[in-house]
Structure 1
Amino acid sequence: MSIIMDAPRTTEAARALRADLVERAAGLRPLLAGNADLTDREREVPQENIAVLAEAGLLSLMRPARYGGLQTDFRTLLEVGREVGRACGSTAWVTSLLNANAWFVGLFPAQAQDDVWADTPDARVAGVVTPSGTARVVEGGYRVSGRWAPASGCAHADWAVLGVTRPDAEGTSDAVGIVLVPMSELAVEDTWFVAGMRGTASNTLTGEDLFVPAHRFHSVPEAVEGRYATPFTDEALYQAAFVPAAALVLTGPQLGLAAAAVDLLAERAPQRRLTMTSYASQSEAPTTQLALANAASLADSAQLHAYRAAADLDEAARAGTFPDYDARARMRMDAGMAAVHAREAVRLVCSAQGAASFGESNPLQRVWRDIETSSRHAVLNPEVAAEIYGKSLFGIRGTVSVMV
Structure 2
Amino acid sequence: MPVAELDTGLGAVAEKLSHLAAQHAADADTTRRLAPEVVAGLREAGFARHFVSSRWGGTDGTFTELVGGVLTVSQACASTGWCASLLAASSRFAAHLPEAGHEELWGGGPDAFIATGLVPSGKAQAADGGWRLSGSWSYISGVDFADWVLLCGAVAGEGPPELRFFALPRGSFETIETWDCAGMRATGSHTVVVSGAYVPSHRSFARADMETGRNSWSTQPTHNVPFQASGALTFIGPAVGAAQGALKAAAAGLANKKRFDAAEVELVRASGRIDAARHLVEQNAQVIDARAFTPEFMARNQRNASFSGELVADALTGLLRAAGTAGLTESGSLQRFWRDVTAATSHVALRFDITKAARNYSAALFADA
Q: Which residue identity does 1:10 align to in structure 2? A: V
- Taking structure 1 as the reference length, the TM-score comes to 0.86
Please tell me whether residue 286 in structure 1 is matched to residue 261 in structure 2: yes
Displacement of 1:360 in angstroms is: 0.8
Match of 1:213 in 2: 200
Q: Describe the superposition over 1:38-92 as per-residue Cα deviations: whole angstroms up to 9, x where unpaired.
A: 1111111111001123223343222221121112111111111111111101111
Q: Which residue identity does 1:361 align to in structure 2? A: S
1:162-201 matched pairs, under 5 angstroms: 162-168=151-157, 170-171=159-160, 175-201=162-188
Match of 2:237 in 1: 252
1:78-157 matched pairs, under 5 angstroms: 78-157=67-146
Displacement of 1:169 in angstroms is: 5.1
Deviation >6 Å, runs of 4+: none
Match of 1:271 in 2: 256
Match of 2:298 in 1: 328
Residue 231 of structure 2 aligns to a residue whose secondary structure is helix
Match of 1:278 in 2: none
How far apart are the structure 1 equivalents of 2:109 and 2:137? 24
Please tell me whether residue 353 in structure 1 is matched to residue 323 in structure 2: yes
Match of 1:10 in 2: 3
Please tell me whether residue 224 in structure 1 is matched to residue 196 in structure 2: no
How far apart are the structure 1 equivalents of 2:15 and 2:332? 21
Cα-Cα RMSD: 1.9
Match of 1:309 in 2: 284
Please tell me whether residue 67 in structure 1 is matched to residue 56 in structure 2: yes
For this pair of structures, how many residues does the alignment match? Answer: 366
Q: Which residue identity does 1:80 align to in structure 2? A: G
**Is contact 1:59–1:99 with CA below 8 Å preserved after alignment?**
yes
Match of 1:372 in 2: 342
**Is contact 1:152–1:200 with CA below 8 Å preserved after alignment?**
yes
Please tell me whether residue 299 in structure 1 is matched to residue 274 in structure 2: yes
Residue 212 of structure 1 aligns to a residue whose secondary structure is strand
Displacement of 1:11 in angstroms is: 5.6
Q: Describe the superposition over 1:334-386 as per-residue Cα deviations: whole angstroms up to 9, x where unpaired.
A: 11122221222222111111222222111111101111011111112133322
| Overall identity of the aligned pairs, in % | 29
Residue 146 of structure 1 aligns to a residue whose secondary structure is strand
Q: Which residue identity does 1:215 align to in structure 2? A: H
Identify if the C-alpha distance between structure 1 residues 140 and 61 changes in structure 2 by more than 3 Å, giving closer, same or farther. same
Query: Which structure 1 segments of 5+ residues have no match?
Result: 1-7, 273-280, 317-321, 396-404
* Residue among 334, 347, 365 paired with 1:393: 365
- Taking structure 2 as the reference length, the TM-score comes to 0.94
Displacement of 1:393 in angstroms is: 3.2
**Is contact 2:214–2:225 with CA below 8 Å preserved after alignment?**
no
**Is contact 2:113–2:146 with CA below 8 Å preserved after alignment?**
yes
How far apart are the structure 2 equivalents of 1:153 and 1:215? 24
How far apart are the structure 2 equivalents of 1:290 and 1:170? 59
